[in-house]
Structure 1
Amino acid sequence: MIAVVTGASKGIGKATVIKLKDLGYTVVAISRSLPEIGDEKIQADVSNKEDVFKTVNYLISKYGFIDVLVNNAGFGVYGSFLETDLNEEEYMIRTNLLGPIYFMKAVLPYMVKERRGSIVNIISEAAYVSSPKLLVYSATKAALAHITNGLWAEMRKYGVKVSGIYPGPVKTNFTSHPSFKGAKDSFSRFAVEPEKVANAVVKAIKTGKREIYVPSKLALDPYFLKLSYIMQSITYRFAGKYFS
């Protein structure tokens, strides 16, 4: 089986590549800098629509089908809305939101035709709680969450699984962006290992569960996320039945 993982050079993406390889998948690792691991390593910018469709067309011609797509590529810019650079924020929107949309648009027609396949989007707790000094990042994740949830409802009748993973802070290079200077300790205090997120990806592939949360080490985190999941589940179960 063929799995494609974006943002595969470090952190969650790298941990996911390792996990899926251990499970027997042929893993295509994609990132802006050439990945170190993967059965096939591709250097591509997910924010570039032409790059994405060219890559997917190449993979389909080579392997015939993509069984799993993990949209993980993304980054954040930290700072007040008045301080952050607009050009960086525009690039963040293209990477965090348009990149997954491009990949899903490219891959889904094949999955629908075969009536199988799994899409897993790495989102964030920030999708539900807009974090101060991470406003545009939070907005990209909120938008991706809405697309993922709606797509979960649309794809059920085709047998295609669509899931969103919602981690809190994770021990990755997320805070390596210069804008996080002075804020790294706040994130690292409650951060979990990227392998926990990779395990959630595997669970999503197996179950097709709409939302899977990976709580931080903050004591109240799991309870707030559980309540959010219950309310969302009721809404999307109804929407899935009504609009399908």
Structure 2
Amino acid sequence: MKKIISGCKYAIASLVAVFAGEDAQAQTRLTTHSTIGWYNTFHTVKVNDKWSVLGEYQWRRTHLVKNWQQSLFRVGVQRNLTKDISVLAGYGWIETFPYGDYPPAAAQPFPEHRIYEQLVINDVHGRVAFNHRFRYEQRWLGLLDASVPAEDKREITDWQFLQRVRYQFRTQIALNNPTMTDNTIYASVYDELFIGFGGQILNNIFDQNRVGIMAGYRLNKRFSVEAGFLSQIVQQARPVSGSDVYQHNNGFILNTIFNWN
């Protein structure tokens, strides 16, 4: 717990420094900028009042749609503790592709297996809803042989275990109805902070931060769609020539949300 608290303090200080540009080591920082497009679909299958099965796929691109950034598939089982509180456990399969001015040495995308647990708390006040999501991730990243050419089949030499905690705060406001009912137009904004911890973390306790500003439309309880602006700041796991590398990715996000009863 002390390591997590210490990591939170370090991450917040790092995040402030990223935005303010006042890091004492700013002269050793490398920055890369990319335009991204994230196209995501989320599905919830309700088993009964207590249990649901969740699935999602995220098609993440650079240059909006031209090149790969990441492919993410995730499933989970959710348990509703109360009307406003739920817990979930699940699994993710991720492929992360080389991109930006300072890509990894290996020319191929590296794989990742991920197990995660989360707690979600909803707080609704009429047309305004607040959402808190706490997520703990155990990650196994495939380490690649960097000498293998891009056109050849990748070779996984080992698996690196990492741990990460995430906290997302989201606010959503219904614009044309007093509550989130059918045919509701809404606006939402969220911020999510990622913090790495554990003995395997060498460089980036601050992992990344995401900010989203979106407009959405809820057709009915089964389908919603939302789109808007996404900003992502990522600190790469390893420095380049002794310098920390920060990726500043800005672009478009599109979400489709399905609820199956």
Q: Do both proteins adopt the same fold according to a TM-score greater than 0.5, normalized to the shorter chain?
A: no
Higher strand share: 2
Q: With the length of structure 2 as denominator, give the TM-score of the two structures.
A: 0.30
Q: Pick the structure with greater CA Rg.
A: 2
Q: With the length of structure 1 as denominator, give the TM-score of the two structures.
A: 0.31
